[in-house]
Amino acid sequence: MQGKRILLGVTGGIAAYKAADLVRRLRERGAEVQVVMTAGAREFVTPLTFQALSGRTVRTGLWDTAAEAAMGHIELARWAELVLIAPASADSLARLAAGRADDLLATLCLATQAPILVAPAMNHLMWTNPATAANVALLEQRGIRRLGPAEGDQACGEVGPGRMLEPLEIVERVQALLAPRGALNGLRVLITAGPTRERIDPVRFVSNRSSGKMGFAVAEAARAAGAEVVVVSGPVALATPPGVRRIEVESAADMLDAVMKEVAGTDIFISTAAVADYRPAHPPGHKIKKVSEKLALEMERTVDVIAAVAARPDRPFVVGFAAETENVEQNARAKMLKKNLDVIAANEVGHDKAFDCADNELVVLWRGGRRELPRAAKASLARDLVALIAELYAEQGRRGAESTGGRDSARA
């Protein structure tokens, strides 16, 4: 983070004391830190503390005559390479969601083009309140990234989600976001993850055991490799990786709709989601009562998301996943050829394999070869897979350029 310009917004909450350590750790990594405090934050920690740690005069007000003589809030908004709000109180999240601009920090967030990260900190009931949940979802849809919160003991004496992440963990995530770009620098990657749910009636659904962990690990690895990453996720209990935009869906039809809205301009599409192959054909609008010993459901095929992407005239580089219980490599290769995929990553699944596990192993197939990725933690495996995808994508681009006499032809 040497020389990176980070604007740290500190809002009102007892976790504001942690922000002092956060400034110190950011400075240790070589970052320049400019602190902006809200009125609430100044009730917990003095500006002098942050001035001593950052080496910069702390900005506290939108109506500072000296600072605003040259439109200081715009200058700060342009100066920042990253805006980090830590702690981010429930009030600050609501103000960001509403687009308020009546204090310095909120105004800066509206005026900056830099990425914005928020590290929430509040009582667990405030965090789980539907109003806060709606505000957070809206901010994430707009591309504002969330770090945490963690779960544990709180200053009020209660226990639950709402603790601000520890400063060192926040710094690690910030450093990953600001790290030099890698093999996917400048590319747009669209990823599907998790299961889908197909409605039986208003209270029941058909689904599968996918946790989404592999897909989210791939999303994090692709972002670390420099890509702009969008993940379309079914229902999972996972935090969005830093720097990744998340779209939440429920059914296979929802996933198809979201993917088709996002796929234009995508360079690489990676389908890790366990999308339902079938759905109930005629789900009623009321709960099915238990009136007989047996219940027969008529099922119909869902639209194949990855096949629909691969069939587009402007198709991206398409990577599929195959979860098989037998003849893994044979079935995966048949799926790759049938659906016209560029690459497929296959793994064996079953009672104690892949699903709900922290590790996995893959056989990656493409028309010109295969590579085994040995069993490893899913985060490590995802990094190896993304590196291989980047290699194969670049190789396809080179072949395309050669076949067209050097013209740029990276996409399939």
Catalytic annotation, pick one of 156, 179, 264, 358: 156
* 244 SS3 class: strand
Instruction: Tell me whether strands 150-153 and 145-146 are parallel, antiparallel or unpaired.
Output: unpaired
> Is 59 within 8 Å of 105 (Cβ atoms)?
no
Distance in angstroms (rounded) separating the CA atoms of residues 269 and 230: 10
Query: Crossing angle of helices 104-111/90-98, nearest 10°?
Result: 40
Contacts (Cβ under 8 Å, ≥6 apart) of 9: 36, 37, 38, 83, 84, 85, 86, 88, 92, 105, 108, 109
Neighbours of 56 (CB within 10 A): 13
Contacts (Cβ under 8 Å, ≥6 apart) of 12: 38, 39, 40, 41, 43, 44, 89, 91, 92
User: 66: which 2 tokens?
Assistant: 């000296």
Distance in angstroms (rounded) separating the CA atoms of residues 52 and 216: 39
Distance in angstroms (rounded) separating the CA atoms of residues 263 and 120: 31
> Is 35 within 8 Å of 56 (Cβ atoms)?
yes
Does the annotation count 156 as an active-site position?
yes
Distance in angstroms (rounded) separating the CA atoms of residues 135 and 249: 18
Peptide bond into 167 cis (omega under 30): no
* 128 SS3 class: helix
- Which positions are catalytic? 156
